[in-house]
Amino acid sequence: MSNQIKYLLDEEKLPKTWYNLAADLPEPAPPVLHPGAGQPVGPDDLAPLFPMALIAQEVSAEREIEIPEPVREIYRQWRPSPLHRARRLEEALDTPARIYYKYEGVSPAGSHKPNTSVAQAFYNKEEGVKRLTTETGAGQWGSSLAYAGNLFGLEVEVYMVRISYDQKPYRRALMETYGAQCFASPSDRTEFGKAALAKDPDSPGSLGIAISEAVELAAQRDDTKYALGSVLNHVLLHQSVIGVEAMAQMEMADDYPDIIIGCAGGGSNFAGLAFPFLGAKLRGGADVRIIASEPAACPSLTRGTYAYDFGDTGNLTPLVKMYTLGSSFIPPGFHAGGLRYHGMAGMVSHIKDLGLIEAAAYQQIGCFEAAVKFARSEGIVPAPESSHAIRAVFEQAEQCKREGTAKTILFNLSGHGHFDMAAYTDYFANKLEDRDYDEASLQTALAALPQVAAE
Amino acid sequence: MSNQIKYLLDEEKLPKTWYNLAADLPEPAPPVLHPGAGQPVGPDDLAPLFPMALIAQEVSAEREIEIPEPVREIYRQWRPSPLHRARRLEEALDTPARIYYKYEGVSPAGSHKPNTSVAQAFYNKEEGVKRLTTETGAGQWGSSLAYAGNLFGLEVEVYMVRISYDQKPYRRALMETYGAQCFASPSDRTEFGKAALAKDPDSPGSLGIAISEAVELAAQRDDTKYALGSVLNHVLLHQSVIGVEAMAQMEMADDYPDIIIGCAGGGSNFAGLAFPFLGAKLRGGADVRIIASEPAACPSLTRGTYAYDFGDTGNLTPLVKMYTLGSSFIPPGFHAGGLRYHGMAGMVSHIKDLGLIEAAAYQQIGCFEAAVKFARSEGIVPAPESSHAIRAVFEQAEQCKREGTAKTILFNLSGHGHFDMAAYTDYFANKLEDRDYDEASLQTALAALPQVAAE
pLDDT at A141 over 80: yes
Architecture per CATH, domain A68-110+234-447, reads as 3-Layer(aba) Sandwich (3.40)
Alpha helices in A190-299 (DSSP H): 191-199, 207-220, 233-252, 268-282
pLDDT one-digit tens code per residue, A305-324:
999 999 887 787 889 999 99
Whole-Å CA distances, B119 to A101, B225, B238, B266, B338: 25, 14, 7, 18, 20
Q: What is the DSSP string of B23-57?
A: GG-SSPPPPPB-TTT-PBP-HHHHTTTS-HHHHHH
pLDDT at B408 over 60: yes
Burial class (CB in 10 A: 0-12, 13-18, 19+), A96: middle
pLDDT at B30 over 90: yes
The span from the CA of A300 to the CA of A342, in Å, is 6
A202/chain B closest Cα distance in angstroms: 24
Integer-rounded Cα radius of gyration of chain B? 21
Confidence band (pLDDT; 50, 70, 90) for A453? low
Inter-chain residue contact B422 with A170, CB threshold 8 Å: yes
Which of B101, B171, B421 is the best mutation test for A, with the most CBs of A within 10 A?
Answer: B421
Burial class (CB in 10 A: 0-12, 13-18, 19+), A406: exposed
Which of A6, A421, A430 is the best mutation test for B, with the most CBs of B within 10 A?
Answer: A421
> For residues A415 and A105, is the Cβ–Cβ distance under 8 A?
yes
A261 touches chain B (CB under 8 A): no
Beta bridge partners of B135: B159
pLDDT at A275 over 70: yes
pLDDT at B258 over 90: yes
**Largest Cα–Cα distance in chain B?**
65
> For residues A379 and A86, is the Cβ–Cβ distance under 8 A?
no
Beta strands A83-85; A6-7: pairing state: antiparallel
Judged by phi (left if over 0) then psi (alpha if -120 to 50, else beta), residue B430 lies in left
B77 touches chain A (CB under 8 A): yes
Instruction: Give the distance, in angstroms, between the CA of residue B196 and the centroid of all CA atoms in the same chain.
Output: 27
The span from the CA of B98 to the CA of B174, in Å, is 36
Helix/strand/coil percentages in chain A, nearest 5 = 45, 20, 40
The span from the CA of A51 to the CA of A428, in Å, is 46
Q: Which residues contact A287 (CB under 8 A, 6 or more apart)?
A: A281
Q: Which residues contact B348 (CB under 8 A, 6 or more apart)?
A: B236, B264, B267, B270, B271, B292, B301, B323, B357
The span from the CA of A63 to the CA of A57, in Å, is 11
Q: Name the residue of chain A whose CA is nearest to B89's CA.
A: A151
Confidence band (pLDDT; 50, 70, 90) for A137? confident
Instruction: Give the distance, in angstroms, between the CA of residue B406 and the centroid of all CA atoms in the same chain.
Output: 30
For residue A239, the model assigns a pLDDT of 98
B310 touches chain A (CB under 8 A): no
B96/chain A closest Cα distance in angstroms: 21
Beta bridge partners of A172: none
Q: Which residues contact A352 (CB under 8 A, 6 or more apart)?
A: A292, A301, A306, A323, A344, A359
The span from the CA of A43 to the CA of B452, in Å, is 82
Instruction: Find the range with the poorest average confidence among A73-77, A140-144, A247-251, A335-339.
Output: A335-339
3-state secondary structure of A386: helix
A92 touches chain B (CB under 8 A): no
Inter-chain residue contact A380 with B108, CB threshold 8 Å: yes
B106 touches chain A (CB under 8 A): yes
pLDDT one-digit tens code per residue, B215-229:
999 999 999 999 999
Judged by phi (left if over 0) then psi (alpha if -120 to 50, else beta), residue A329 lies in beta
A422 touches chain B (CB under 8 A): yes
pLDDT one-digit tens code per residue, A162-185:
888 888 888 999 999 999 999 999
First to last CA, chain B: 52
For residue B35, the model assigns a pLDDT of 81
The span from the CA of A163 to the CA of A204, in Å, is 5
**Which residue spans within B264-334 are E strands per DSSP?**
289-295, 305-310, 319-324
Q: Name the residue of chain B whose CA is nearest to A84's CA.
A: B77
Whole-Å CA distances, B208 to B116, B161, B162, B211: 21, 9, 12, 5
Q: Which residues contact B130 (CB under 8 A, 6 or more apart)?
A: B154, B155, B223, B224
Q: Which amino acid is at A331?
A: P
Whole-Å CA distances, B211 to A148, B15, B207, B222: 43, 32, 6, 18
For residue B272, the model assigns a pLDDT of 98
Instruction: Find the range with the poorest average confidence among A235-239, A297-301, B1-5, B205-209.
Output: B1-5
pLDDT at A447 over 70: yes
Inter-chain residue contact A173 with B147, CB threshold 8 Å: no
A101/chain B closest Cα distance in angstroms: 12
Among A395, A348, A374, CA closest to A105: A374
The span from the CA of A238 to the CA of A120, in Å, is 9
Average pLDDT of chain A?
94
Inter-chain residue contact B170 with A425, CB threshold 8 Å: yes
B252 touches chain A (CB under 8 A): no
**What is the 3-class SS of A302-371, one letter each residue?**
HHCEEEEEECCCCCCCCEEEEEECCCCCCCCCCCCHHHCCCECCHHHHHHHHCCCCEEEEECHHHHHHHH
The span from the CA of B143 to the CA of B123, in Å, is 18
3-state secondary structure of A139: coil
Helix/strand/coil percentages in chain B, nearest 5 = 45, 20, 40
Measured between CB atoms, which of B84, B106, B174 is closest to A421? B174
Counting one residue from A and one from B, how many pairs have CB atoms under 8 Å apart?
A: 107
Phi, psi of A246 (to 5 degrees): -60, -35
pLDDT at B415 over 70: yes
Residue with more model confidence, B10 or A148: A148
pLDDT one-digit tens code per residue, B282-310:
999 999 999 999 999 999 999 999 999 99
Inter-chain residue contact B151 with A375, CB threshold 8 Å: no
pLDDT one-digit tens code per residue, A67-91:
999 999 999 999 999 999 999 999 9
B425/chain A closest Cα distance in angstroms: 5
For residue B1, the model assigns a pLDDT of 41
Instruction: Give the distance, in angstroms, between the CA of residue A176 and the centroid of all CA atoms in the same chain.
Output: 23
B278/chain A closest Cα distance in angstroms: 28
Inter-chain residue contact B76 with A6, CB threshold 8 Å: yes
Interface of A with B in 368-387 (CB under 8 A): 372, 375-376, 378-381
Q: What average pLDDT does the segment A118-141 reach?
A: 96
pLDDT at A335 over 90: no
pLDDT at B334 over 70: yes
A443/chain B closest Cα distance in angstroms: 39
Q: Which residues contact A451 (CB under 8 A, 6 or more apart)?
A: none
A349/chain B closest Cα distance in angstroms: 34
For residue A332, the model assigns a pLDDT of 83
Whole-Å CA distances, A365 to A189, A369, B307: 39, 6, 54
Confidence band (pLDDT; 50, 70, 90) for A1? very low
pLDDT at A409 over 70: yes
Inter-chain residue contact B376 with A425, CB threshold 8 Å: no
Q: What average pLDDT does the segment B42-61 reach?
A: 95
